[in-house]
């Protein structure tokens, strides 16, 4: 092993540099992974452009990246299930395992989580990354390292659509935003057997991709009018969407689950109008946190409006997904 650990470091807003970092020393229950593939997440971009996400603020230089796979290059003395050379997907969040959140099965809420590229913790965009052995999941031979790096964002989709959204076979879903997370939410809905998967985006090329990938229908929102307020626009947009796609508030043509993977205020507002009475709305996209919402709809439809943060433990995260992909 050389001493080369070139890393991609965020020093401040729109200020990144390649920098040599010391190769991490591992503890007896940890492994050192030579990182091979890393996806760039919306959160990496938020930190790059704004220097923060909600109350997570980049105060010191931080290595970016958390959607990664690689090859084991060193194992701690007490590690039994992994060996040097194993190809693995890396789970980026190490939780305490003992707090109320961890013990209640919602470890994404652990206050002591050490999550890659969430300040103050360094991420995976270096030559090496150190993590507890139980968070490195061996990949079957027919699963590529690229697919291995996709396991974390796919887990975000599973968490939003299944764990929180509770989507079941033959139910209907609308996904606002056709970026990677929106698309993976559609893929999860397809795997569950949703009868309608409606993709919504303002970019037609993204809708085309969504249709070819997992959506059954697409919707291109109407254009805002001069001087129209956002909530007025959203009401008009929702009415048009309902008419064009034959969506009702109840019954077979209603929408059981809305996922907002855009973070755009008008998408969230429109979603409140089109989700069915008694339906569920999961917020996974992160935009301006201060938005105007129609609480009249929230109450009179008895909507379940839920926040989604990263991924959860309910489907045992990576082992389940990897075995699904490998089969
Ligand atoms: Zn991510
Ligand atoms: Zn915990």
Cα of 184 to ligand 2 centre, how many Å? 27
H or E element that contains 149:
helix 145-149
> What pLDDT sits at residue 3?
86
pLDDT tens digit sequence for 44-71: 999 999 999 888 999 999 999 999 999 9
> What pLDDT sits at residue 2?
75
Cα of 299 to ligand 1 centre, how many Å? 32
Identify the three-state secondary structure at position 236.
helix
Ion ligand 1: residue ranges with CB closer than 5 A: 41
So where are the chain's domains?
6-156+311-326, 165-307
Would you identify the CATH topology of the domain 6-156+311-326?
Quinone Oxidoreductase; Chain A, domain 1 (3.90.180)
Cα of 116 to ligand 1 centre, how many Å? 10
Cα of 112 to ligand 2 centre, how many Å? 6
| pLDDT beneath 70, residues of the chain | 1, 314-327
pLDDT tens digit sequence for 132-169: 999 999 999 999 999 999 999 999 999 999 999 999 99
Cα of 310 to ligand 2 centre, how many Å? 15
Q: Which CATH architecture has domain 165-307?
A: 3-Layer(aba) Sandwich (3.40)
> What pLDDT sits at residue 235?
97
For residue 200, give both structure tokens.
């919504």
Q: Which ligand is nearest to the CA of 155?
A: 1
Residue with tokens 């103050």: 120
Ion ligand 2: residue ranges with CB closer than 5 A: 95-96, 99, 102, 110
Task: Show Cβ contacts of residue 48 under 8 Å, excluding neighbours closer than 6 positions.
Answer: 10, 13, 14, 16, 64
Pairing of strands 128-132, 67-75: unpaired
Task: Show Cβ contacts of residue 289 under 8 Å, excluding neighbours closer than 6 positions.
Answer: 54
> What pLDDT sits at residue 326?
61
Asked if residue 159 lies in contact with residue 312, where contact means CB atoms within 8 angstroms, the answer is: yes
Structure ipTM: 0.94
Distance CA 63, CA 47 (A): 11
Cα of 119 to ligand 1 centre, how many Å? 14
> What pLDDT sits at residue 324?
63
Bridge partners of residue 2, in order along the sequence = none
Q: Which ligand is nearest to the CA of 92?
A: 1
Cα of 132 to ligand 2 centre, how many Å? 15
Cα of 92 to ligand 2 centre, how many Å? 15
Cα of 109 to ligand 2 centre, how many Å? 7
Cα of 213 to ligand 2 centre, how many Å? 36
| Residue closest to 264 by CA, chosen among 309, 200, 185, 184 | 200
Task: Show Cβ contacts of residue 283 under 8 Å, excluding neighbours closer than 6 positions.
Answer: 260, 268, 305, 306, 307, 308
């Amino acid at each position: 092993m050389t001493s080369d650990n070139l890393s991609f470091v965020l020093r401040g807003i729109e200020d990144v540099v390649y920098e040599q970092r010391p190769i991490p020393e591992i503890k007896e229950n940890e492994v050192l992974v030579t990182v091979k593939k890393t996806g760039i997440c919306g959160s990496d971009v938020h930190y790059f452009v704004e220097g923060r996400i909600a109350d997570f603020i980049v105060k010191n230089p931080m290595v970016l990246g958390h959607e990664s796979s690689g090859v084991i290059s060193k194992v701690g003395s007490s590690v039994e299930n992994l060996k040097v050379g194993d190809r693995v997907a890396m789970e980026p969040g190490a939780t305490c395992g003992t707090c109320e959140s961890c013990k209640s099965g919602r470890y994404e809420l652990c206050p002591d989580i050490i999550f890659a590229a969430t300040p103050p913790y360094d991420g995976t965009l270096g030559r090496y990354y150190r993590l507890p052995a139980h968070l490195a999941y061996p990949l079957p031979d027919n699963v590529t390292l690229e697919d291995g790096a996709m396991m974390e964002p796919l887990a975000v989709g599973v968490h939003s659509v299944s764990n929180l959204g509770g989507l079941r076979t033959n139910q209907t879903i609308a996904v606002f935003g056709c970026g990677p997370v929106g698309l993976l939410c559609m893929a999860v809905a397809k795997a569950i057997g949703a009868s309608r998967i409606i993709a919504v985006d303002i970019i037609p090329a993204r809708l085309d991709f969504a249709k070819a990938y997992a959506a059954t229908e697409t919707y291109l929102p109407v254009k805002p009018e001069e001087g129209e307020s956002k909530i007025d626009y959203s009401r008009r947009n929702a009415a048009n969407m309902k008419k064009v796609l034959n969506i009702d508030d109840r019954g077979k043509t209603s929408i059981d689950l809305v996922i907002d993977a855009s973070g755009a205020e008008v998408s969230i507002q429109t979603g409140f109008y089109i989700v069915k009475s008694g339906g569920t709305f999961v917020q996974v996209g992160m935009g301006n946190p201060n938005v105007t919402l129609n609480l009249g709809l929230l109450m009179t439809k008895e909507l379940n409006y839920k926040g989604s943060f990263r991924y959860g433990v309910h489907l045992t995260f990576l082992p389940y997904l990897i075995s699904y992909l490998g089969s």
